[in-house]
Every structure is written in structure tokens, then in C-alpha cells.
């Protein structure tokens, strides 16, 4: 009975969300009128590959593409991004444009080309070794190289030129994605004062005390004040940014702390918590491919009758993977009765492996898994199973549904989509989410078991709580979390930020 009720309610929520989505996209298109809509991101929404002599294409996985691709398909527009595929150059026209989706074109992808040196300085260097550690309080020191900073500015200029060319003097509405492009809004504002410019920053913004350690903090903030609208996941990051901007000479923040005035114009700062395709992920859980994959994994790793936990992340030092393994070790040490009964699957997608810190982390994770397994393995039971490499959608769906508990233990995280995906996948209404307090997601998912990943003993005690939680309590919490994620899905996020931008454009 309880399950039937949960299913009915979820079905209603899903129906409501998809009606809103169509309606929101229709409104966006109508309001845009003849203004060009331009999205800018480092990663492209469609990649062309050369396989043998044939050209193939695919869509990279990730929340950003999931949200903005349907919006552009409905509203039309131009997406400016780095052309990174081996066949990307072969399919563009003389203006570096290709119509996408490749099988039923609905909007334009404008590719920008970067040299290996530009990628090294802009992407691996300044974006991922300076800004990424600077914005995350994960105690990994940022590396501020003058040469990387110069390349970062140069690449921001290259992207700005592409946007200016595409807008061709018309009053475009531009939505810039992420920390790769802090300088881009300032360049656009100078060269095209009438543009409506918004930016979404997908990672945290730290307190001013931290941000000012960057030798170019003032230039970065000034660049971002070229935006009309600046979005972060949660209020705390907005407040940190407004505080940082308040220190910039000539900048004045309003009393409510929602805007910053400088050079005779205003930048509004607002939270837009990103989310996932709730209906899509929830529906996927029922598909036969996912059910078959659950059976395959269960047989392959002897999961039958076991309590299964999962951790599923990009291998990044902000995700708290070693901290999770230490807590698991402590849990097994304190609770010998659970040895032989709990299997934890740690799935890690290698990431940014050109950077030494990431290779060191991957080594440390491998060593910790080996240590825990050596310490506790008995007979045919092994506490940790490690899955490496990029997993298919079916395997991800199967893991989320096999897991009695999912552990997200980030040291700091803008939002964390893994947590929301786990909740979205559980249309059976069961499962426990153990979630770091230091994720943006913790603000919405108050029914998770909230942990501090640095506090190993307490983290281990919370794991026990997850494993012993009565079924009615698990279902009550999951129901609440599903209501939250269904009520603010990825399409609401995309349409919400664009609607606000259109309001600013007077549309």
C-alpha cells in the first residue's frame, strides 16, 4: 500500500514536471523573439570522432548538456564550445559551424580551436590547478603560474571573439558556463555593451580571505562583473562572491546583498541549484537493460544477500574518496558483526590525469582499497570492489538500484549530482543517502544522513546508522528527497536561469 502511494505520487510529480518543461521552453522561445541566444562552455554538447575511416558522434554525459541541449533544441540558438573531437574539424563549415543534433539539426554548434599549449595553460593550468583548488576548500594548494594566467586570458579573448562574430552586432542574450570563463563577460561587455550576459559558476565561491590569495583576484572579479546575472548553486556562494566583489575598488554592494554596482551598471547575483533529469533517471530504473545489468553485477560480484553500498565519483581530491575509505575501515573495525555482510562498490571515473595531483590521488585510492581488503577479506568475501573507467548508463542505473546505501563524502562540492541521481533512480522508494554537509546538495536533501567527511569516527558511526535504519524511516526520508528533486529538476534549472536573463533583457 505504502509503495503504491509513493508510486502514484511520483508519477504525478513527474507528469507535472514535464508539462512545466514544455511550457517553460515555449515561453523562452517566444520571449527571445529575434534576439540570438548564445551559450558558451568549454565542453561541447556533441563530439565527432574518427573511427577508422568513418565519422561517428556522441553526446558527452553530464548535467550541463542534459539541461541546455533540450532548451536550445526548443528555442534555437548557437552553442560556442571547444572542438575537442578527432573528427570535429572535418564536419564544420567555413565558419567553423555544424548543425546539431547531427541526426536532426535544430541549432548551431560553433567550434573554437585551441592549440595543445593553449589547452595546457588555460584548461589544465589556470582553470584546474589555480581556480579549481582555490574555490574548493579541500586543502590542496592552488598553483598560480603567470604563464597560465596569460593563456587563460588569451583563450577567454578567443571565445569572446567567436561570440561577437556570432552575435554580429545584434542584441544577443549570452549564457556563459563555469570557471573557465571568468574574463569573458568583461571582454564582451566592453565590446558589446548592449548584450545581456549571464554566467553560471558550477563550483563554490570561497570566502574573500581565501579568494584574495590569487594574485589576479581583482581582475577576475572585475571580469565577472561584466555579467548582468551571475548564478551559483546556493546562497552561501552568492554571499561569498558579493563580499569578495565588495572589496573591489569602485564597487558597491546593495544592502540586501543581491547586486553589485560598478562602472555605472549592476550585476545581480542569485542562487540556481542545479539538478538532474528526475523523470528520465527514475524511468530508466524500470528498463529491462538496467534490471539485467543488476543481475549480471549481482552474480559477478556475489552481492546476493549482502548489504551493498556505492561510491561513484570522478576521481578528484574534492570528492573525499580516501576519507570515505578510512570511515569504512573504522566501521568494519568497530562492527565486526558486519564483516562478511557488507560490500562497498567504489566506482571511480579517472579525471584530469594529465595533472600530477590527480595521478597521486588515484594511487592513494588504490592503496587504501588494497589495505582495507587485505585487512578484512575472509573466504570469498571482500569488503571493497573497485570499478574503474567510465561506466555505461545501464551500469550506473544498476548500481544505484542495487545499493542499499550511497555515500557522497565530498570535502567541498558546488552541488553534487551523484546524490540527486541516486534519489532520482530509487523509484522503489527505498535506499539511504549518506551525504557530506559540505555539498550544495545538502541544503536541499536534509533527509539524507549528513556527515562531516573529516570526522572519521563520527562518519563511521553514521554508516552504522545508515545500515540499521528501519525500513519505514528509510522510505519516509527517500519520499521527501524524491519530492525535492522532482520539484526542481534540471529543466527547471535551465529554464529558470534563462527566464531571469530574459527578464533582464527586457524580453
Which residue, 400 or 474, has its beta carbon nearer to ligand GDG? Answer: 400
The separation between CA 388 and the C-alpha centre of its own chain, rounded to angstroms, equals 20
- Using the contact rule CB under 6 A, the part of the chain among 43-51, 60-68, 189-197, 208-216 near ligand GDG is 60-68
Q: Is 81 a binder of ligand GDG (CB under 6 A)? A: no
**C-beta of residue 445 within 8 angstroms of C-beta of residue 238:** no
- Using the contact rule CB under 6 A, the part of the chain among 59-67, 145-153, 213-221, 296-304 near ligand GDG is 59-67
The separation between CA 182 and the C-alpha centre of its own chain, rounded to angstroms, equals 18
Distance CA 331, CA 197 (A): 49
Q: How far is the CB of 314 from ligand GDG (least distance, A)?
A: 5
Cβ atoms within 10 Å, residue 148: 21
Residue 266, phi then psi, degrees to nearest 5: -120, 145
Which residue, 35 or 42, has its beta carbon nearer to ligand GDG? Answer: 42
Distance CA 260, CA 239 (A): 11
Q: How far is the CB of 276 from ligand GDG (least distance, A)?
A: 7
Residue 449, phi then psi, degrees to nearest 5: -85, 110
Q: How far is the CB of 391 from ligand GDG (least distance, A)?
A: 4
**C-beta of residue 313 within 8 angstroms of C-beta of residue 390:** no
Question: Which listed residue (73, 291, 314, 359) binds ligand GDG by CB under 6 A?
Answer: 314
CA nearest 40: which of 165, 181, 140, 151?
Answer: 181
Q: How far is the CB of 263 from ligand GDG (least distance, A)?
A: 29
The H or E element spanning position 176 is strand 173-177
Distance CA 12, CA 110 (A): 39
Cell numbers for 480? 521527501
- Using the contact rule CB under 6 A, the part of the chain among 39-47, 56-64, 71-79, 452-460 near ligand GDG is 56-64
Which residue, 185 or 414, has its beta carbon nearer to ligand GDG? Answer: 414
Q: Do the bridges between strand 259-262 and strand 342-349 make them parallel or antiparallel, or are there none, so unpaired?
A: unpaired
Using CB under 6 A, which residues numbered 403 to 442 contact ligand GDG?
Answer: 413-418, 421
Q: Is 349 a binder of ligand GDG (CB under 6 A)? A: yes
The helix/strand count (H/E) of the chain reads as 20, 18
In angstroms, the Cα distances linking 343 to 163, 305, 399, 405 are 50, 10, 12, 11
Cell numbers for 429? 522508494
Q: How far is the CB of 309 from ligand GDG (least distance, A)?
A: 16
Using CB under 6 A, which residues numbered 102 to 161 contact ligand GDG?
Answer: none
Question: Which listed residue (312, 342, 445, 463) binds ligand GDG by CB under 6 A?
Answer: 312
Q: How far is the CB of 114 from ligand GDG (least distance, A)?
A: 21
Angle subtended at Cα 461 by Cα 460 and Cα 463, rounded to the nearest 5 degrees? 65
Which residue, 312 or 463, has its beta carbon nearer to ligand GDG? Answer: 312
- Using the contact rule CB under 6 A, the part of the chain among 61-69, 70-78, 260-268, 355-363 near ligand GDG is 61-69
Using CB under 6 A, which residues numbered 218 to 277 contact ligand GDG?
Answer: 274
Using CB under 6 A, which residues numbered 184 to 223 contact ligand GDG?
Answer: 202-203
Angle subtended at Cα 201 by Cα 199 and Cα 204, rounded to the nearest 5 degrees? 155
Distance CA 426, CA 406 (A): 11
Question: Which listed residue (36, 63, 198, 273) binds ligand GDG by CB under 6 A?
Answer: 63
Which residue, 36 or 397, has its beta carbon nearer to ligand GDG? Answer: 397
Which residue, 414 or 431, has its beta carbon nearer to ligand GDG? Answer: 414
CA nearest 211: which of 201, 199, 198, 200?
Answer: 201
Q: How far is the CB of 204 from ligand GDG (least distance, A)?
A: 8
How many residues touch ligand GDG under the rule CB under 6 A: the total is 21
Q: Is 35 a binder of ligand GDG (CB under 6 A)? A: no
**C-beta of residue 137 within 8 angstroms of C-beta of residue 206:** yes
**C-beta of residue 226 within 8 angstroms of C-beta of residue 259:** no
- Using the contact rule CB under 6 A, the part of the chain among 40-48, 116-124, 312-320, 484-492 near ligand GDG is 312-320
Which residue, 421 or 444, has its beta carbon nearer to ligand GDG? Answer: 421
Question: Which listed residue (155, 182, 294, 347) binds ligand GDG by CB under 6 A?
Answer: 347
Which residue, 261 or 349, has its beta carbon nearer to ligand GDG? Answer: 349
Q: How far is the CB of 59 from ligand GDG (least distance, A)?
A: 11
**C-beta of residue 453 within 8 angstroms of C-beta of residue 436:** yes
The angle, 0 to 180 degrees and rounded to 10, between the axes of the packed helices 321-334 and 356-376 is 10
Q: How far is the CB of 82 from ligand GDG (least distance, A)?
A: 17
Q: Is 61 a binder of ligand GDG (CB under 6 A)? A: yes
Q: State the sign of the Cα–Cα–Cα–Cα dihedral 200, 203, 206, 211.
A: negative
Q: How far is the CB of 44 from ligand GDG (least distance, A)?
A: 16
Using CB under 6 A, which residues numbered 374 to 403 contact ligand GDG?
Answer: 390-391, 396
Q: Which residues bind ligand GDG (CB under 6 A)?
A: 61-63, 202-203, 274, 312-314, 347, 349, 390-391, 396, 413-418, 421
Amino acid at each position: 500500500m505504502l509503495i503504491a502511494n509513493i508510486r502514484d505520487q511520483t508519477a504525478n510529480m513527474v507528469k507535472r514536471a514535464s508539462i512545466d518543461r514544455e511550457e517553460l521552453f515555449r515561453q523562452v522561445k517566444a520571449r527571445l523573439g529575434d534576439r540570438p541566444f548564445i551559450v558558451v562552455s568549454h565542453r561541447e554538447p556533441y563530439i565527432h570522432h574518427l573511427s577508422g575511416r568513418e565519422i561517428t558522434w556522441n553526446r558527452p554525459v553530464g548535467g550541463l548538456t542534459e539541461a541546455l541541449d533540450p532548451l536550445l533544441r526548443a528555442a534555437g540558438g548557437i552553442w560556442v564550445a571547444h572542438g575537442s573531437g578527432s573528427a570535429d574539424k572535418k564536419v564544420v563549415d567555413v565558419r567553423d559551424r555544424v548543425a546539431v543534433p547531427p541526426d536532426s539539426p535544430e541549432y548551431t554548434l560553433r567550434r573554437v580551436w585551441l592549440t595543445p599549449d593553449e589547452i595546457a595553460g588555460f584548461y589544465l593550468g589556470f582553470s584546474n590547478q589555480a581556480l579549481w583548488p582555490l574555490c574548493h576548500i579541500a586543502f590542496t594548494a592552488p598553483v598560480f603560474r603567470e604563464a597560465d594566467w596569460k593563456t587563460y586570458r588569451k583563450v577567454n579573448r578567443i571565445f569572446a571573439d567567436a561570440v561577437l562574430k556570432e552575435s554580429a552586432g545584434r542584441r544577443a542574450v549570452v549564457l556563459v558556463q563555469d570557471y573557465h570563463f571568468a574574463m569573458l563577460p568583461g571582454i564582451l561587455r566592453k565590446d558589446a555593451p548592449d548584450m545581456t550576459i549571464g554566467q553560471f559558476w558550477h563550483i563554490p565561491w570561497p570566502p574573500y580571505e581565501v579568494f584574495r590569495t590569487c594574485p589576479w583576484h581583482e581582475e577576475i572579479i572585475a571580469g565577472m562583473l561584466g555579467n548582468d546575472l551571475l548564478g551559483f548553486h546556493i546562497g552561501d556562494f552568492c554571499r561569498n562572491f558579493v563580499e569578495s566583489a565588495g572589496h573591489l575598488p569602485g564597487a558597491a554592494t546593495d544592502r540586501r546583498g543581491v547586486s553589485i554596482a560598478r562602472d555605472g551598471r549592476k550585476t545581480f547575483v542569485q542562487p540556481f541549484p542545479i539538478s538532474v533529469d528526475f523523470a528520465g533517471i527514475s524511468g530508466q530504473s524500470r528498463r529491462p537493460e538496467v534490471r539485467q545489468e543488476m543481475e549480471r553485477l549481482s552474480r559477478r560480484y556475489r552481492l546476493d544477500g549482502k548489504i551493498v553500498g556505492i561510491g561513484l565519483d570522478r576521481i578528484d581530491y574534492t570528492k573525499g574518496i580516501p576519507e570515505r575509505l578510512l570511515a569504512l575501515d573504522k566501521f568494519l573495525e568497530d562492527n565486526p558483526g558486519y564483516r562478511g555482510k557488507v560490500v562497498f562498490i567504489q566506482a571511480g571515473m579517472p579525471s584530469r590525469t594529465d595533472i600530477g595531483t590527480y595521478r597521486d590521488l588515484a594511487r592513494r585510492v588504490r592503496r587504501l582499497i588494497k589495505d582495507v581488503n587485505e585487512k578484512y577479506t575472509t573466504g570469498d568475501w571482500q569488503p571493497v570492489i573497485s570499478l574503474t573507467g567510465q561506466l555505461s548508463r545501464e551500469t550506473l542505473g544498476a548500481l544505484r538500484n542495487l545499493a542499499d546505501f550511497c555515500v557522497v563524502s565530498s570535502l567541498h562540492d558546488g552541488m553534487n549530482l551523484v546524490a540527486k541521481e541516486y534519489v532520482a533512480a530509487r523509484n522503489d522508494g527505498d535506499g539511504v543517502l549518506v551525504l557530506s554537509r559540505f555539498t550544495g546538495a545538502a541544503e536541499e536533501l536534509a533527509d539524507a544522513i549528513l556527515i562531516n567527511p573529516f570526522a572519521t569516527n563520527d562518519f563511521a558511526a553514521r554508516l552504522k546508522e545508515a545500515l540499521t535504519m528501519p525500513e519505514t524511516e528509510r522510505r519516509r526520508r527517500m519520499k521527501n528527497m524524491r519530492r525535492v528533486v522532482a520539484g526542481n529538476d534540471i529543466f527547471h534549472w535551465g529554464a529558470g536561469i534563462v527566464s531571469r536573463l530574459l527578464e533582464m533583457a527586457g524580453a
